[in-house]
Amino acid sequence: MNITWTIKLFADLTTFELYDLLRLRSDVFVVEQQCVYPDVDGKDKYAWHVMGYADGHLVAYARLFKAGDYFSNASIGRVVTKFSARNTGLGHQLMKEAVKALFDLLGTQTVEISAQQHLEAFYNAHGFISRGESYLEDDIPHIRMFYTTNTRWVKLFLSKK
């Protein structure tokens, strides 16, 4: 699958791109996961939006935040792939693009995410480390995870686990 990646701030999104990303998020997080929650949470306007297109159709999406806009560290959220594009490695491509974008755009060393717990191994494969106990977010078990390029921080972090 040939993917074209685009990263835009909210103000730079076209109405078609905004519709596509809200539709994809709704299809997966609200309909597929049967989780009724307000996906439009007021945070999109502060985010960078990573969009992966195949043949003109949005098939992958994530949003990125600088430190302090969501968590105290830079963060990635709303990581989603279209159902028909799953099991193709697209989710892994998306995470690589998202992490790279945070480092390129912000020069950050640490990324924090709130991961659905059943995807913990997926994020581990990208270098994310779990921290703390699981918790419920919209009735779905989640776990806080971190990724960093600071090896001293990793050693300290793991020693406190």
Looking at the domain that runs over 4-159, which CATH code has it been given?
3.40.630.30
What are 65-105's pLDDT values in tens digits?
999 999 999 999 999 999 999 999 999 999 999 999 998 98
| pTM of this structure | 0.88
Decide: helix, strand or coil at residue 86. Answer: coil
Q: What is the pLDDT of residue 58?
A: 98
Q: For residues 54 and 118, what is the distance between their CA atoms, to the nearest angstrom?
A: 27
Instruction: Tell whether the model's pLDDT for residue 36 goes beyond 60.
Output: yes
pLDDT (tens digit per residue) in 120-152? 999 999 999 998 999 998 889 999 999 987 655
Q: What is the mean pLDDT of residues 12-24?
A: 97
What is the four-CA torsion angle of 157, 104, 116, 141, rounded to 10 degrees?
Answer: 50
Phi-psi region of 45 (alpha: psi -120 to 50; beta: other; left: phi over 0): alpha
The two tokens of residue 84 are 């028909």
Question: Tokens 């989603």 identify what position?
Answer: 80
How far is it, in rounded angstroms, from Cα 77 to Cα 38?
15
Q: In this predicted structure, what is the pLDDT of residue 152? A: 55
Report pLDDT digits (tens) over 38-50.
Answer: 788 889 999 999 9
Hey, what are 44's tokens? 């999109």
Q: What residue segments make up the domains of the chain, in order of their start?
A: 4-159
Q: What is the pLDDT, as a whole number, of residue 44?
A: 95
Kindly tell me if the per-residue pLDDT of 158 is higher than 80: no
Q: How confident is the model at residue 153 (pLDDT cuts 50, 70, 90)?
A: low
